[in-house]
Amino acid sequence: MTFRFTALAFVLAAAPGVIADSTISPANPYSFSANVGWLNNKHDQPSAPAGLVVSEYTVQGYAYGANIGWIRFGVSSPANGVRYSNAAGDTGVNHNGTGDLSGYAYGANVGWISFNASPSSPDRPRVNLANGTFAGYAYGANIGWVNLAMLATSTISAPDTDADGIADAWEIEHFSNLTTANATSDSDGDGATDLTEYTAMSDPSDATKFFKITSQTLDAGMAKMTLVFTTNGARLYRLQWSPDLAVWVNDASGIQEPDAGPTTTKFITFPAGSQRFFRVIAIKPLQN
């Protein structure tokens, strides 16, 4: 009997994202400061303006505290179209794509609130890409520490004004415009479209860097395959197997977070058979 085992890498694109209402979970809209009380980060509390919108690159909008009024996180697009420089006139809170936050929020009644912390600090302000929960602390000289642990975002926004499936900020970051890349272009000629490169968060200017499985190892019992594949900390992953390329079965491990570093090693189990195909799907966090 002949056995065939083939591994593939795929990306799963989400519908284009648009910044509109706050992305903050209605069930978990609060952060807390012992000195000033609760801050509500949802857009309809107590009224407009809009609440926080967590995107792949920034956190924009307003939080509100009954004791201190509005806290501004950045209410216009960054000057470079990607992230705030936090120089005069271009201030706000940035998201590095993998969950860590930095930069500044501002309240007219309390001054600046810093989201800057050592990247290695366990108390650094961050958002969990797998479930949207926040953790860590921000700090304001006039209000002390702000605990983010009660806060969560329901989704991560990816504004796409030209509706090509590629987030505006990613296009500007890599191409300085919204016209070079689209759903079918392949800027580095590596066979992966720019849309695929964005969805996998790989480099669209380097033909050697694209989402792929780099090795596969089948165990002796022919029921477990170990896969090594390229990954990025801004993405999550799902493993699947198929007997015929027509029907794909999700591995019981569910959606996986990547390992630290440029590649991730995971294994997938499957029922015995004469032919099996495998694939890894890159997923945009909280968008699929």
Looking at the DSSP bridge assignments, the partners of residue 140 are 113, 144
Q: Which two tokens stand for residue 43?
A: 């857009």
Residues 143 and 59 in one domain: yes
Residues 130 and 186 in one domain: no
Q: How far is CA 256 from each of CA 11, 97, 122, 136, rounded to the nearest angstrom?
A: 14, 17, 22, 23
pLDDT in tens, 170-220: 999 999 999 999 999 999 999 999 999 999 999 999 999 999 999 999 998
User: What pLDDT, on the 0 to 100 scale, is given for residue 2?
Assistant: 45
Q: Is residue 161 part of a domain?
A: no
Count of the separate structural domains present in the chain: 3
Query: Is beta strand 275-283 parallel, antiparallel or unpaired with respect to 4-12?
Result: parallel
What are the phi and psi torsion angles at 31 (to 5°)?
-120, 170
Residues 49 and 149 in one domain: yes
Residues 273 and 229 in one domain: yes
Residues 116 and 225 in one domain: no
Residues 214 and 183 in one domain: no
Could you list the residue range(s) of the whole structural domain that residue 256 is in?
Answer: 4-14+209-283
pLDDT in tens, 83-110: 999 998 899 999 999 999 999 999 999 9
pLDDT in tens, 140-177: 999 999 999 999 999 999 999 999 999 999 999 999 99
Q: Is residue 162 part of a domain?
A: no
The answer on pLDDT for 30 being more than 50 is yes
Q: Which two tokens stand for residue 274?
A: 């004469």
H helix runs in 91-241, sequence order: 168-175, 194-200
Pick the more confident residue, 186 or 288. 186
Residues 31 and 130 in one domain: yes
Residues 234 and 256 in one domain: yes
Residues 35 and 143 in one domain: yes
Q: Which two tokens stand for residue 142?
A: 């006039």
User: What pLDDT, on the 0 to 100 scale, is given for residue 76?
Assistant: 86
Please, what is the average pLDDT of the chain? 91
AA letter at 114: S
Residues 46 and 148 in one domain: yes
Residues 80 and 9 in one domain: no
DSSP, collapsed to helix, strand or coil, labels residue 171 as: helix
Looking at the DSSP bridge assignments, the partners of residue 24 are 153
